[in-house]
A = this chain, B = another copy of it.
């Protein structure tokens, strides 16, 4: 192959890989010659060849552009698309669920966020634009950890309105709630420490424990009776537990909340054993009853609770703004953050601050809660009609997920596979727990409107569940 032919081949490949897109200018002959270390004559020959073959178009005064009908050109040449990614290893299932949730081909009942159009996108974007225009040159420095003072002040305000005594300086802004939780866990544990979690729990807790080489102590929890504080008390006595990572309101995936008395008991247990509570409280704004539930932090005079939350479930998943009410551990958390992500994105911090001040957050939340509550009722009704009668469905008082339980030997992973084949993504119980009986459960996001498409999907899931129960009971008999 000549030099110019080989150069032309390289360029074709780059175009196939969309490095250069339809209609886009490619590097000048001179730039390409310098970079590829061939003569300008060779480059010109290559470009002319590609022009002849329809890949490029020469435009006077402006050089060579990629042809606008480039897709047809590529297909006509019989080029194959790039190969599929290699198969996945650990945490395969979790990552697979996440990928399917992302794909627009799937009905995303597995999603960890409410339906995207329930967020006040327009208002938030207006706030982002306004706040950006006022951004100062040194804003990157002044909004380094602990983060924008104004944003911390507005968050503290919301807690103070609930009767908590939270100061802006108690708060550290993070890249979403998950970073807040991870930094908190790192701040209070060393590898080899014991950490208590609910079973089932938010999968992020299981993963963090594995990554930080901690030892999980699972505390049983159920839809009907919530977290078993008696067992927690026993375990705290039996193991040198350093921290508990728990959800106190609208627990994911079960949906229960601890009562105030239980929250008080929880904190006093921790105080007795000098353990910390990492409180994951990302759903408390999405309550359906009279008023917003308190976090356990409200009963924490000794500053043992690291209260973590975010705007990702109520306002915008994509801004990646969360926080931790860290109190005396604030400095410790900031150090961890300074060494991992340095700070959360400044425009996102300022955009959300502006929205909290001017955008009508509380109005939005009121509407969001009403919608979610209606959708819950509709979805639960549909589920009960579509699923086999042995199915148990949770009826949470907030949030946007329901927990479905099936009699053994139901296998949620088999169900997950069948649902995926029908282009429906669900969250199998096994991503939430290390226990065997995790297989009998699935989690569904109910934040979608019950239109014909959703209803069909629910009915399909019901049929598949019946099939799973039937075939498994046949297999086991």
Tell me, rounded to whole Å, the shortest Cβ–Cβ distance linking A81 to chain B. 11
Measured between beta carbons, the chain B residues less than 8 angstroms from A95 are 334-335, 338
Measured between beta carbons, the chain B residues less than 8 angstroms from A342 are 175-176, 178, 320
Count class of interface residues, chain A: 35 or more
- Stretch from A159-167, A270-278, A465-473 contacting the other chain: A159-167
User: B320 near A88 (CB under 8 angstroms)?
Assistant: no
Measured between beta carbons, the chain B residues less than 8 angstroms from A19 are 153, 156-157, 160, 166-168, 191-192, 213
Task: Say if the beta carbon of A58 comes within 8 Å of chain B.
Answer: no
**Bound complex: CA of A20 vs CA of B17, how far in Å?**
48
Measured between beta carbons, the chain B residues less than 8 angstroms from A21 are 153
User: A341 near B178 (CB under 8 angstroms)?
Assistant: yes
Measured between beta carbons, the chain B residues less than 8 angstroms from A135 are 121, 125, 318
User: A331 near B85 (CB under 8 angstroms)?
Assistant: yes
Q: Chain B CB within 10 Å — which of A20, A328, A340, A346 has the most?
A: A340
What residue of chain B has the Cβ atom nearest to residue A35's Cβ?
B163
User: A27 near B192 (CB under 8 angstroms)?
Assistant: yes
User: B157 near A339 (CB under 8 angstroms)?
Assistant: no
Quick one: which of B25, B88, B335 contacts A331, CB cutoff 8 A? B88
Q: Beyond A143-B318, A192-B20, A347-B345, is A240–B25 a contact (Cβ under 8 Å)?
A: yes
Task: Say if the beta carbon of A140 comes within 8 Å of chain B.
Answer: yes
Task: Say if the beta carbon of A69 comes within 8 Å of chain B.
Answer: no
Q: Beyond A191-B191, A345-B318, A346-B319, is A340–B140 a contact (Cβ under 8 Å)?
A: no
What residue of chain B has the Cβ atom nearest to residue A341's Cβ?
B175
What residue of chain B has the Cβ atom nearest to residue A317's Cβ?
B140
What residue of chain B has the Cβ atom nearest to residue A169's Cβ?
B82
A residues 178-199 with Cβ under 8 Å of B? Answer: 178-179, 182, 186, 190-192, 194
Task: Say if the beta carbon of A41 comes within 8 Å of chain B.
Answer: no
Instruction: Mark contacts of A314-355 with chain B using CB atoms, 8 A cut-off: 1 yes-contact digit, 0 otherwise.
Output: 001111110000001001001110111111111110010000
Quick one: which of B14, B125, B194 contacts A133, CB cutoff 8 A? B125
- Stretch from A111-119, A281-289, A412-420, A443-451 contacting the other chain: A111-119
**Bound complex: CA of A455 vs CA of B245, how far in Å?**
53
User: A140 near B128 (CB under 8 angstroms)?
Assistant: no
**Bound complex: CA of A98 vs CA of B140, how far in Å?**
13
Instruction: Mark contacts of A83-108 with chain B using CB atoms, 8 A cut-off: 1 yes-contact digit, 0 otherwise.
Output: 00110100100010010011010001
Q: Can you add 19 more A-B contacts, CB < 8 Å, to A19-B192, A98-B144, A340-B340?
A: A19-B213, A31-B194, A35-B162, A35-B163, A36-B163, A85-B331, A95-B335, A102-B142, A113-B141, A116-B137, A116-B140, A132-B132, A141-B317, A175-B341, A175-B344, A178-B340, A207-B339, A319-B345, A319-B346
Query: Could you list 16 examples of A-B contacts with CB < 8 Å?
Result: A19-B166, A19-B168, A20-B192, A21-B153, A27-B161, A91-B335, A95-B335, A116-B137, A121-B137, A129-B132, A135-B318, A175-B345, A178-B340, A211-B339, A320-B346, A345-B347
